[in-house]
Structures are given as C-alpha cells and as structure tokens.
A and B are shown apart, each in its own frame.
Chain A
C-alpha cells in the first residue's frame, strides 16, 4: 500500500491544472519523480513541488494499491484523477473543477465541496462528495453526445445546474437540492435527487429521474399514474415528447 500526501504550500489565486495527480500517473514513481511531474499554474508550466509539499509512504504494485491524500483547500486545482483506472484519491477539503474527468475505475472521496464538471464523461468507479457539488456533474463536455457512461456519483449536499447532462449510463445520487435542468438529454442513466429541483429531464429519451422534493415540470411530459415507492407517493411522468422520449420521471410533489 502506497500513500502519497500532497498539501498546498502557497495560496494561489489562479487555477492550477494538475491532471497528473492520479494513482495511475503516480503509482510507479519515486518521491523525486513525483516532485518533478508537470502542472500548469495559469499559463506557466511548473512542477508539482513548486506548489505542494509531498510525502510518500509505503510501496505499491500498481494504481490499485495507491492512495493519494490531498490536504488543504484544493478548490483551484483542476483535473485531479483524470482518466484514473484504479486506486483512490481522498481530498480532505474542497476539490476543484473537472475532478475525475473520464474516470474509468477506482474512487474519489471529497470531504469538502466539489467544483463544476465533477466526473464529466466518467465510465466507471465511484465519486463521493460530503459537501456540495457545482454545475455539470457527470455531464458531457461542450459538443459531446455522451456524458457519464458508467459508475456512481454520490453527493451528500446539493448540486448545481445541468446535473448529468447527456447522461448515457451510470447513476448520480444527490441528497440535497439540485439546480435547473438535471438529466437534460438523458439517454439512459439514472438520477436521484433527495431535495427539490427545476425542469428535470429536458430532451431526455431514456433513463429515469427521481425527485424526492418538489419540481417544476416541463409541459412536454405526460402525467401518468401515481406510484408508491418505499412508503412514499410519487407522480410519474413520461417524456420528453419533444424528442419522442420514453424517459421516466418520478416527482414527490409538483409545483
């Protein structure tokens, strides 16, 4: 088991792009090599040791036995865990945009808040957020036909707008509220929102969205029968008719 600890030594106001902070990139490296990994501070090319103090404990066979622990506020550090296939990343505080981009396996645990584009286009693995998440959780990036295709994202707090846009698979669970348009253009993933939201499922063709609180529905959904699930009543909707969709939305309370 190998544990790599990174803590920020400076307080930066510009974004840091550090896609090399990932078990796949770091598993096979010695401390000195990790220190020399490249990152971008704004438009300047730097090495990780210019921004972080880094400690390594133990040995790893590969990424699956590698854990990266991020200490401090990483809310300006982007693309952590990009394309990771195994192992884990634990952020003790916040983590910046694009965490878990195109992630294939392993897990990311964010104890603070997550930025925008969390787990965008992810294919597998698990992301857990103890706080809130930004916009476009599990979405496809601009122009992409498919967002998240597999894996799980669990958010204990609330999430921003366009959660799971272009979702093609996998599941997203938000315990709190969600911003506008969750599950837009959903093509087969499932979303659970514990709290309330606004206009879920626009242009969805497949998949399901469950809203535990109240939601304002689009007029292009047909109201179906009421259903009971785990002792609670939901109103079922089918749509989006704009796309001849067969998606399913269950809402506890419509407004």
Chain B
C-alpha cells in the first residue's frame, strides 16, 4: 500500500510535518511497496494511535456492563455487513471498543489492570475486540506472594514470581494499584500512606513499590512498573504522589525508559484538607516532572458527562459510592487484590468535578516535555475514550478552553492555574502524547512511529495542517479527529471517514521473562503450598492457556534462552 502526499508527523523519527509518501509492505512500513494507493495530499498523517491505559477487558469491565443496562442503551448501533452490533457508551461491548478506536485512528490499546486469577476472562474479551493490537497489565500490588517476598527481602524470588505471574496471566507488565490497600480492604481497612503497615504481612507500601520496581528492572521488562498511587482520589494526596516518586529516584532503569509510569495522574494531584477546600496541585506535580526524568504519567483526564469508575482500588470505590450515593460493585480476588465499580456523572457546575477537569489540562500544559505526559481519560473512569478528540481540541486551543471555563463552576478560576495558561499544543505535541510517547513508555518498538520496519499502522485525518489554525478552528479539529479519513492497521485499510471497512483480528502482546532455575524452584515449592491451602482452584487450571490467545506476540525478557536451546529448559515453562 502507498499513502501519497500526506503531511507526516512522526516525532520518534524527527519528522515534524513533512510532505512525504508512506509505503507499507507485508504489514510493515517499507521503503517501497506495490498495491493500492491512497491519496492523502495535504492531509495530516500520524502513526496509528496507542492508548497505554484503558479499561477495555476483564471482569470489572464486564461488571460495569452488567450493572449498567442504562449505559448499554446509550450506544446501540445495529450490525452491518462488516460490523457486529454495538452497545454501550462508557462500557461498550467488545466489538464497539475495536470499531470506535479504529474510527479515531487508534490501532493499539492496553488494558490497565488484570488480576492473574481472572486473566482468562480478560483474554476472552481481548480476543473479541476486533482490529486493535492489545495487551493487559497484571496486578501485583496486593498479592500475597509479592508481600511475602517483600517481607523476606528476597528480590530474586520476587522477580521469579513476577515472571511467573506474567506467564500465568499472559500479561504484559507490572501494574500496582494502591499497594497493600487491596489486601487491607479484605479486612475493611485501607493503607493511609507509604508507611502504613499492611495487616498480617508486616510490610509497608513503600517497600512493595520499591521492590517491585527493582524486580521489574532485574527482569528488564519492556514496560516499567505502572503505578496507581496510595491515597488516590483524596484531597491533599499530592504529597503522597511526590513522596512515592522520590522513593523511586534511585532505581536504575534496565532499558532506555522511565522506571515508573504513573497512571491517571490527575486523580493524585489534589490539594486541600477535605472536599470543602479541595484545590488543584497540578502545577506542583508538573513542576516535579519538569525537574525529574525517572517517571512518566498519563493524564486520566476528566470530561463532563457520564463515566463508570472501575479500579482495583476497592476502598476508593467504596468511598465513591458513599459520597455519591451511587450503585456499587465490590470484589475480592482471593490472594491477589480487590476491586470496585461505581457509575457516576461529572457535572460542569459541580465544584469538585470542574477542578478535576482543570487539573488534567494543567498537567498536560504545564509539563514541558510531552514525552513525559501521555493523553488518556483512564477510560471509562474520567470519560469514555471516544472523547479523546475533545481533549486534544482543548490542549490545542486556548479560546476553546476559555469558552469552556465560562461554563464551568467558578472555583476553577480561584483554585486552579488553568485560566492563566497560554500554551497551545501543536501537532508534534499531539503526535507524541497519543502515539510516540505511549509506545515508548510501554516499550513497543514497532508502534508509535513510521520508520522502516515499524508496524503499518497509520492514521490520516481530514485536516490540512498547512491551512488550519487549531486554536481558532478547534471545532474542525475535534470533528476530524473523531472520524479519521483513513485508518490503516497492519497495511489493511480498516476505516474510512468513520465507516469500518474491514475488521481483521488484532494481536495480543505478552511478556515471557526467563529466570534462574534455582529461583524458580524455590518459588514453585511455595506456590504449590499456596494453591493447596488457599486458592479455590488448582494451579493447572490457573494458567491462561495458549488457546486463549489466537494471535500472540510474545516479547522475551529476563534471562534469555540461548539460540538453539530447547524451550523446555526455560525454568518457568517447564513448571507451568
């Protein structure tokens, strides 16, 4: 396939709005190619979008669907010869997720939190999401084996467990949610900060985070630890955020990337002593990121309208449901974590919601380096992902922000710095925040750029970067980004002007990390005991089998198996 004459933004390769032709051969970007030609003369061309943090599959997404039949009715689309029927808005069905991302020019999305014990369900749903390449991050932050390894200061065993957990869940990276809190919630309690002891384990969240970060780097995983802070969603929590970031300054990265990625930063950038004097600490957080380079964040932007909050932070969801008098689902995942789901509506006249909205924008606009801050709405916690064009329009246009500020609660003017911010992002910033940045942060070498050998994922938009002024024409920008002129996935044209033309299956990424045999043996003896005594299922039923992943893309890490050596010498493979 040849894409002719587009204005290409490919910041990972130093291309900032150059007119050029793109060639895709065998599903990858090449120097020349045959086949159909697409005319993109003068149009905005970027790599396919990459979403590094989105709740798109698994038990809590499905719980959201079950408890919200009202949401199902908000997004029904009948089937057509290409597409299966779609339902839902904040918690769309699997098909809708694939089609709606593809319509916006997105080709990759990663599920943000999966307990190992429920990973099979996650993969069953990922299998049904058409078009997108995807992966799932695995939860480790309140896991009994992790807590024991941390207590015993046995990093080698912890690394072996992380490798085994990724293999068991066919997971991509280490997700940590309110570390220790998920375990404490089993007893109706929570941890209140980095130095609060987790009941029955005699460890503190600070040790859990630091140990998992070190284990992550011992294994050389493509992605860093992916952290949801303690005290998330509470007024005054920005001090916990900065304390935690400081804790990780000394950890050495094993690859050219951050040592910690902070999930949905907006929910942890709060000042005040309670909801009455709640205020933004976005500027303080942005300032920290401007002065340090070991961490990256995604926004977790809040937009006004319906959302469904879902997280492994069980106590947070309990607090949400009490505060809002809303529906509440709660779950405990045996030895692993907790979780909760609460639907809500963000109102522009609600002081707290208006300040949350402003904080997301502050974080993006005040962090100078776009490679450190990527765009998400923590779908569907802050807003459904279909609203990304709204976020981009806000970031690119100060007049649009001023129009919005005039309609939201007036406390935005006194409790946030947003009205004073003049920065308007350009297409390079946007290409970094939605493509190149997330791909680099996740460690996806073939995504987020258009260099030779990269995946043939390309988005062409009905916008002429040379002619329009995004600051003034923000409505045009928003409309064009919602419906890509062309979305190309792996060299196949999947969408044109919002219409899905074909729906090929995507691949699922997972990480297979090797560890020393001695460590694996120590671990397996321990795990056998855990399964005999505590788990409700057998270890043989626990592992996600390859049959659940029909299009895998396995990334090797950790101790590498030498060329020509039998795979069965892989310690964990044999044990599993």
Q: List residues of chain B with CB within 8 A of the CB of A141.
A: 69-70, 73
A145 and B308 CA atoms in complex are apart in Å by: 14
- Residue of A whose beta carbon sits closest to that of B73: A141
A202 to chain B minimum Cβ distance, whole angstroms, is 16
Residue B362, interface by CB 8 Å? no
1/0 per residue, CB under 8 A from B, across A139-179: the answer is 00111110000000000000000000000000000000000
- Residue of A whose beta carbon sits closest to that of B71: A143
Residue B257, interface by CB 8 Å? no
B92 to chain A minimum Cβ distance, whole angstroms, is 15
A78 to chain B minimum Cβ distance, whole angstroms, is 15
Residue B67, interface by CB 8 Å? yes
Task: Determine the interface band of chain B, counting residues with CB < 8 A from chain A.
Answer: under 10
Q: List residues of chain B with CB within 8 A of the CB of A142.
A: 69-70
Residue B68, interface by CB 8 Å? yes
Q: List residues of chain A with CB within 8 A of the CB of B69.
A: 141-143
A/B pair count, beta carbons within 8 Å: 13
1/0 per residue, CB under 8 A from A, across B63-76: the answer is 00001111111000
Q: List residues of chain A with CB within 8 A of the CB of B72.
A: 143
Q: List residues of chain A with CB within 8 A of the CB of B70.
A: 141-145
A207 to chain B minimum Cβ distance, whole angstroms, is 15
A226 and B71 CA atoms in complex are apart in Å by: 43
B436 to chain A minimum Cβ distance, whole angstroms, is 40
A132 and B69 CA atoms in complex are apart in Å by: 28
Q: Most chain-B CB neighbours within 10 Å: which of A142, A143, A144, A145?
A: A143
A86 to chain B minimum Cβ distance, whole angstroms, is 25
Q: List residues of chain B with CB within 8 A of the CB of A143.
A: 67-72
Q: List residues of chain A with CB within 8 A of the CB of B71.
A: 143
A143 and B68 CA atoms in complex are apart in Å by: 5
Q: List residues of chain A with CB within 8 A of the CB of B68.
A: 143
A186 to chain B minimum Cβ distance, whole angstroms, is 14
A68 and B145 CA atoms in complex are apart in Å by: 70
A141 and B71 CA atoms in complex are apart in Å by: 11
A67 and B68 CA atoms in complex are apart in Å by: 37
From 283 to 321 in chain B, residues with beta carbon under 8 angstroms from any chain A beta carbon are none
B307 to chain A minimum Cβ distance, whole angstroms, is 14
- Residue of B whose beta carbon sits closest to that of A244: B325
A145 and B67 CA atoms in complex are apart in Å by: 12
A144 and B67 CA atoms in complex are apart in Å by: 10
1/0 per residue, CB under 8 A from A, across B57-97: the answer is 00000000001111111000000000000000000000000
A144 and B72 CA atoms in complex are apart in Å by: 11
Q: List residues of chain A with CB within 8 A of the CB of B67.
A: 143
A147 to chain B minimum Cβ distance, whole angstroms, is 12
A143 and B87 CA atoms in complex are apart in Å by: 15
A211 and B67 CA atoms in complex are apart in Å by: 32
A235 and B29 CA atoms in complex are apart in Å by: 79
Q: List residues of chain B with CB within 8 A of the CB of A145.
A: 70
Q: Most chain-A CB neighbours within 10 Å: which of B67, B69, B70, B72?
A: B70
A141 and B69 CA atoms in complex are apart in Å by: 9
From 200 to 230 in chain A, residues with beta carbon under 8 angstroms from any chain B beta carbon are none
A128 to chain B minimum Cβ distance, whole angstroms, is 28
A177 and B457 CA atoms in complex are apart in Å by: 64
- Residue of A whose beta carbon sits closest to that of B66: A143
From 129 to 145 in chain A, residues with beta carbon under 8 angstroms from any chain B beta carbon are 141-145
A143 and B74 CA atoms in complex are apart in Å by: 12
Residue pairs across A and B with Cβ atoms less than 8 A apart, 8 shown, are A141-B69, A141-B73, A142-B70, A143-B67, A143-B68, A143-B69, A143-B70, A143-B71
Q: Which positions in B face A, CB cutoff 8 Å?
A: 67-73
Q: Which positions in A face B, CB cutoff 8 Å?
A: 141-145
Further pairs besides A141-B70, A141-B73, A144-B70: 10, Cβ < 8 Å: A141-B69, A142-B69, A142-B70, A143-B67, A143-B68, A143-B69, A143-B70, A143-B71, A143-B72, A145-B70
Shortest Cβ-Cβ A-B pairs, 6 listed: A143-B70, A143-B69, A142-B69, A144-B70, A143-B68, A142-B70
